[in-house]
Amino acid sequence: MPDQHAQAAVLLRRRRLVDPTALTPPVRRSAWQWLRRPLTIQSGLSALQAELIQRGLLLSVGLYRYCAGLSAPALAGFGRSMLELLDAESGHDEQHVPLFRGFPESVPGNTETFYINRIFARLLQEPEQPCVLCGDAKSVHAVSPCAHLVCRTCWDGSDFSACPLCLRRINPNDPFLKPSFDEVQPAHVRSDRLRLLTIAPADALRSTVDALLVRRSPLSAADRADLQVLLSAADPSWLPDEIPVRETRALVLAHFLDDHPELLDRAGTATDVLRLLYALMDADPGLRTPPVRRKSLPRATRRLVLGRLDRLPAETLIEDMLRHERAWKRIAENLHPFEFAPRHPRAALAFAVLRRTELDLETAAGRAVAGEAARHPFVRVEDGRLTTNTFASRVEGALASRPGHALDLLRQRPGELVRRLVQLARVLPGDQHGALVDALATAVSDVSPVVLTAALGQVRTPPGDLRLFFPRGGTTRIWTTVDGREPLPTELATALSGVLVGEMLRRATDLPRLRRVFLDEELARLAAPGSERSASSTLLRMTRGSAVPIPQDELLRLFLHWVEPRGRRVDLDLSVAVFDEEWGFVGLCDYTRLRFDQDALVHSGDLTSAPGPHGSTEFVDLDLRAVRRVGGRYVLPVVFSYNNVPFDELERGFVGVMRQPTGLFDPAAVEERFDLAGPAKILLPFGVDLQTKHLRWYDVNLSAAGYGHNIAKYGGHLALMAATMEEVHGAGDRVSLWEVCCWHAAARTDEVVVRCADGSVVGYLRDPAEDLSTFARRLTARLEPDRVWDQDAADRSDFAAVLTADITPRAGAEVYALHPQLLDPARHTLIDAPHLLSALAPDTRAHTPAALPS
């Protein structure tokens, strides 16, 4: 895909902005086929709008006028190109043919009988012999390529899409596969699913790059990929003075380094340089996984990197390198630091300490290192080798024996103090709690808002039954353990929370004032933005742990699609486990049970291979009311790699959920989609709580070993993981997006309108005599409002944050909406959740808040 076309795809997916020049390919005769018989521009526009509506989209006025000005062939090419990108985003570009083509009606009610018939036919059927099931002597023929003998009478070739005996895909031209019914396209799409497509402004690419570069939390893999695509259109003048996330900075520096080596000075630490080297080697700049293969670096690049290391302070240089010891030892094999020791002695010294190199004063490198070591008293020689005592080791030692000294050490590094806040609060004696609060009050002014919100959640979360851990790594495999810690003293926890919240309010007061703010109480279900480095590529880009409301009687349709690599069979299984109030197992729906309680859960059939180019698709229908009726409360969809093939070996694969679909695969009904990636073999994408009526995003992988992964093998582990996620994120102690929006509202306006969960609208008014923290606490806790408001209060708001944009704020208003619907970016400034925290950066006045895209 050309760069320009790839950039247009990013704008369309991220912001629903259409770049017409990039989406209009050279017109070919085949382009006319999309319009079938394009007699007039008006008929072409009508056809294009009909196709877009089926995908849940509408043309804005400006985009409609642009299309109306095209010739018929140009409109055909433009429309086809845009629809291809939209279909690739939702998964509608794939052929979704389940095992039972009449799904859900034709799925057999008795899975055991279906299985027994398959086994009898597979094991006992002989060529030139009557069917072992029905006795018909003329209806048994082999199918291609598996060569199983299939009776055309017992197995309906118009309903099956694969061999009914081994369930593997067969040649689509095999005579066994008979024509089936043509799916009727939906006649209409629900209005609440429609979203507006808008023509891209001239600065669309730059504003999208700005939004990613100023973000204060690590980007997901999908966001990093998008950034790399957009950077091909950028130049160094686009770069802000500060790129706060070091991983993002490494990607940018790696992109521009060849032509602009002076940008290397933006790598302020040895770890920044290491991230850059990983990016140059096409590895993860988050340093979670090493480069797949060692990539040699040009000599000029090696000199440049060693020169940058040589200009760093020696103590922090050595300490940073020891923090990532194994990675630097691997990198040293590429950099050859001792070759340049006379020119860059400090860099060579750091590598000598790292590798415990024996000093050889007979060589020029050895003499250079020894001379540099003599200048730094914290470096000492032991048995002819260099060693040092790092800051981290001093802190760890002090925490174990002298907590007060640990606090004094951590005062030097504000970010590290905030990260270790709860640990310090537990080890410090009571007479030093005041000193901790004072130290925190001094430190918070220089700390990232993402770190502050994480610390606030930890301070407020009391010890419970289980703790939840997300270890670093290429695939997030969470694990839990019993929480045996002592609770923090209530007075100390309150004081620490007050300092953290007070700092966020102080920063928010520096932002432009607002006349009125409109907030949706349902934002309390969404987790505040945090690190997204391990998040899957999704459509909504919500933080792990967030929840969205669902109607009790809604029908959900899960879908799984994958394509196996050439020459290797991959058997993925879409499964659903159901648990009761106490996480006791109620039932399942998978390849062993295609129906649960008749129609409560219905599986489309198990496909055991997915050859290209079309691959395989499995569906499961969930009737939530029926599941609740049989005692189920928690519904957990799971993707298993049955034959133990990691997801990253797939040619492509994704799993998602549709809400109330019309037709087998309804792109307008796609609520969310997760890409299958990484070395994982089990994915738990989300869970449904039928009592609280919410769907919570988990996006976690479970450890797997062996063969034959299924619910029967991992049911207990699934319940434990999901129960922990619900306990941790459902308790309300972690910072929510609602709380972040309340900080903005309380500090920036005296008039806040809140739409409650029951649909009522109330107002909070700040009295001139009311303290800011008191007003913020009253608003955040949703205490007694000051008045009841009109339903049209959002119309006169400067800032609005809602779950679903069924409102019409005034022109020019800033709006956050998880589902933007028909909001027009030309009329409103659409912002994303990370922007709400990025605006609260320590030095807010140095960074003009950008219009950040959703």
The gap between the terminal CA atoms of the chain, to the nearest Å, is 24
Which two structure tokens, joined as six digits, stand for 289? 């996984």
Q: By the 8 A CB rule, do 764 and 754 touch?
A: yes
The residue among 380, 410, 444 that closes a domain is 380
Q: Is residue 374 part of a domain?
A: yes
Rounded to whole angstroms, the Cα distance separating 95 from 397 reads: 60
The residue among 360, 380, 400 that closes a domain is 380
Q: Is residue 686 part of a domain?
A: yes
Q: Is 250 in the same domain as 316?
A: yes
Q: Is 713 in the same domain as 601?
A: yes
pLDDT of residue 476: 55
pLDDT of residue 628: 92
The residue among 135, 150, 179 that closes a domain is 179
Q: Is 190 in the same domain as 174?
A: no
Q: Is 147 in the same domain as 82?
A: no
Q: By the 8 A CB rule, do 220 and 533 touch?
A: yes
For helices 345-355 and 314-323, angle between their N-to-C axes, nearest 10 degrees? 40
pLDDT of residue 31: 40
* E strand segments, 541-648: 547-549, 555-563, 572-579, 585-589, 595-596, 601-603, 616-623, 634-641
Q: Is 76 in the same domain as 146?
A: no
User: How does pLDDT run across 366-388, given as a tens digit for each residue?
Assistant: 889 888 888 888 888 887 788 88
Rounded to whole angstroms, the Cα distance separating 268 from 248 reads: 14
Q: Encode 436-474: b = buried (16+ Cβ within 10 Å), e = exposed.
A: bbebbbebbeebbbbbbbbbbbbbbbeebebbbeeeeeb
Cα–chain center distance at 284: 16
Cα–chain center distance at 491: 37
Q: Is 140 in the same domain as 26?
A: no
Q: Is 627 in the same domain as 572?
A: yes
The domain that contains 145 carries what CATH number? 3.30.40
Q: Which domain holds residue 120?
A: 111-179
Q: How many CB atoms lie within 10 A of CB 512?
A: 10
Q: By the 8 A CB rule, do 638 and 575 touch?
A: yes
For helices 270-280 and 314-323, angle between their N-to-C axes, nearest 10 degrees? 50
Q: Is 600 in the same domain as 718?
A: yes
Phi first, then psi, for residue 633 (nearest 5°) are: -120, -45
Cα–chain center distance at 238: 26
Query: Which residue carries 């933007």 as its tokens?
Result: 820
Specify the number of domains making up the chain: 4
Q: Indicate the Cα dihedral angle 638, 641, 643, 647, nearest 10°.
A: -170
Rounded to whole angstroms, the Cα distance separating 535 from 176 reads: 43
Q: In a 10 Å sphere around its CB, with 0-12 CB exposed, 13-18 middle and 19+ buried, how is residue 702 labelled?
A: buried
For helices 403-410 and 433-443, angle between their N-to-C axes, nearest 10 degrees? 10
Q: Is residue 222 part of a domain?
A: no
DSSP 422-441: HHHHHHS-GGGHHHHHHHHH
In this prediction, the residues of the chain whose per-residue pLDDT falls under 70 are 1-2, 24-39, 181-188, 465, 471-478, 532-536, 791, 843-854
Element (H, E) at 508: helix 490-509
Phi first, then psi, for residue 798 (nearest 5°) are: -85, -25
- Report if pTM > 0.85: yes
Q: Is 44 in the same domain as 119?
A: no
| Contacts made by residues 802-805, CB under 8 angstroms, sequence distance 24+ | 802/518, 802/519, 802/520, 802/522, 802/523, 802/755, 803/520, 803/522, 803/523, 803/525, 803/526, 803/548, 803/549, 804/192, 804/520
Cβ-based neighbours of 361, under 8 Å, separated by 6 or more: 367, 370
Q: Is residue 853 part of a domain?
A: no
Q: Is residue 265 part of a domain?
A: yes
Phi first, then psi, for residue 731 (nearest 5°) are: -75, -25
Q: Is residue 742 part of a domain?
A: no
Handedness of CA 308, 313, 245, 749 (dihedral sign): negative
pLDDT of residue 796: 85
Helices of type H across 125-264: 204-213, 221-231, 246-256
Eight-class DSSP state of 553: T
Q: Is 64 in the same domain as 169?
A: no
Q: Is 554 in the same domain as 680?
A: yes
The domain that contains 699 carries what CATH number? 2.60.60.30
Q: In a 10 Å sphere around its CB, with 0-12 CB exposed, 13-18 middle and 19+ buried, how is residue 12 labelled?
A: buried
pLDDT of residue 185: 59
pLDDT of residue 515: 92
Rounded to whole angstroms, the Cα distance separating 285 from 221 reads: 10
Rounded to whole angstroms, the Cα distance separating 701 from 709 reads: 13
Q: Is residue 453 part of a domain?
A: no
Q: Is 127 in the same domain as 79?
A: no
Q: Is residue 800 part of a domain?
A: no
